[in-house]
Amino acid sequence: MLINVSSDREFQRYLDRTEQRLHVDMVPMLARGMRLQLSDGGVAAEDFIRRRGEKILVRHYKLIFNQVYTATWHQVEKQARTGVTAFMERMLSWIEREAATRIQYISQSAADLIRDFVFQGVQEGWSSTRIAREIVQEIPAISRTRSATIARTETHGAAMWAMDETIGEQQINIQTKQWFTAQDMRVRPSHQAMHGVTIARNEPFDTDDGQMMFPGDDSMGADAGGIINCRCSLLYFT
- Mean pLDDT by runs of 10 across the 238 residues of the chain is 78 90 94 90 90 94 87 57 69 88 89 87 89 89 92 92 86 91 90 95 94 93 91 92
pLDDT of residue 49: 93
Q: Which of 196, 173, 186, 199 is nearest to 8 (CA)?
A: 196
Q: Does residue 114 contact residue 135 with C-beta atoms inside 8 Å?
A: yes
Name residue 200's beta-bridge partners.
Answer: 176
Q: Does residue 234 contact residue 178 with C-beta atoms inside 8 Å?
A: yes
CA distance 38 to 209: 36
End-to-end CA distance of the chain: 13
The conformation of residue 193, written as its DSSP 8-state character, comes to T
CA distance 31 to 34: 5
pLDDT of residue 196: 95
| Cβ neighbours for 47, distance < 8 A, ≥ 6 positions apart | none
Number of Cβ within 10 Å of residue 150's Cβ equals 28
| Cβ neighbours for 189, distance < 8 A, ≥ 6 positions apart | 208
pLDDT of residue 2: 77
The torsion angles phi and psi of 37, rounded to 5 degrees, stand at: -65, -35
pTM (2 d.p.) = 0.84
CA distance 9 to 58: 26
The torsion angles phi and psi of 110, rounded to 5 degrees, stand at: -65, -40
